[in-house]
Each structure stands twice: as C-alpha cells, then as structure tokens.
Amino acid sequence: MSSNNAHPLGQAPWLHVVLSTGFGSGFTPVAPGTAGALVALGIWWVMYERLAPTTLLCSTLVLIVATTVVGVWTSGIMERYWGHDSRTVNIDEFVGTWIPLLAAPAGDDTWWLAWLGFALFRIIDMWKPLGCRRLDRMAGGWGVMLDDVLAGTYALIIVIVIKAVAL
C-alpha cells in the first residue's frame, strides 16, 4: 500500500492513466490496491476457464513479465504527475496477484488456492516484510513494481508449501 495518499492527481497522458490505474480500478475510493488485485484475479479466472492448464501457466508467466515491464514504464511516467507510488497507481497489484496464482492452475482446489494466493499477497503487500518496504522506497517505476513482485513471490512460496502439506 502506498504512503502517498494525499498527493493531488495532476493531468497525465490518458494511456498511462488507464494502464497505471489497472483499467480505472485505482480510482476506487476505498482500498484501490485490493480493487486492482480483484480485477487481476478476475482476468486470471477468465483465462482459467478458457485455457488448458499448461497454456494457463505459460500465459500467466507472460502476463507477469509483460505487466511488470509495462508497469515499470507507466509507473515511472505517472510519478512525474502524481508523485511516487500514488495509491491510485495499482498496476503493481496485478503482477503481485498473478505470481501466487502460478501454484493454482489446475485441479479441484484451484478456486481455494487462487483465493488463498490473493489473500496472502494482499496481507504481505500491506505489511511489507523482509525487504518489501526497502524496495517500495526505490524511486521510479522499479520501486512501485518490485515490492509487489517480492510480496507475490512470498505468497507463492507459502501457497506451494500449503499445497504440498495440505493437499
């Protein structure tokens, strides 16, 4: 979650507004990070319903990499207009949500594992443990994106462990 909650939102290029705010989900007045994460979960679920497990896994990996690259670019641009890591910029939540979903692509437990990954990512992203806070302080788009990549990676590890022990 961004500490930049009071910075005024200046005029910015519309393409960057659409991308950086997760298709507008960042304008949600309450919990814009969670709103973005829910949109990302919805996108993944539509893919889950339509793709074979291997294709889903590969598609999710491509989404993570592509969205990280686009997120670094657009977040860096938006920093000039809205300040560092504005709470309205939530493209980073998409990547952080999709990373733990790599452990949930197929099977009877997919829905449960998807929600677990989503919840773990959001909790870790809000608490920012073990290096996440340090990455969040980095200037530019890398700082915006990398703390969520790390939080998503922590969530992925936990989901894998729970999946191995409980299922």
pTM for this prediction: 0.90
Is residue 105 included in any domain, yes or no?
Answer: yes
Taking only the tens place, the pLDDT of each residue in 2-52 is: 444 555 666 889 999 999 999 999 999 999 999 999 999 999 999 999 999
Q: Are 146 and 134 in contact (CB under 8 A)?
A: no
Is residue 8 included in any domain, yes or no?
Answer: no
List Cα–Cα distances, 136 to 90, 97, 147, in angstroms: 13, 17, 5
Residue 31 token pair: 């919990």
Is residue 2 included in any domain, yes or no?
Answer: no
Q: Domain limits at 138?
A: 14-166
Is residue 7 included in any domain, yes or no?
Answer: no
Taking only the tens place, the pLDDT of each residue in 115-146 is: 999 999 999 999 888 877 788 777 889 999 99
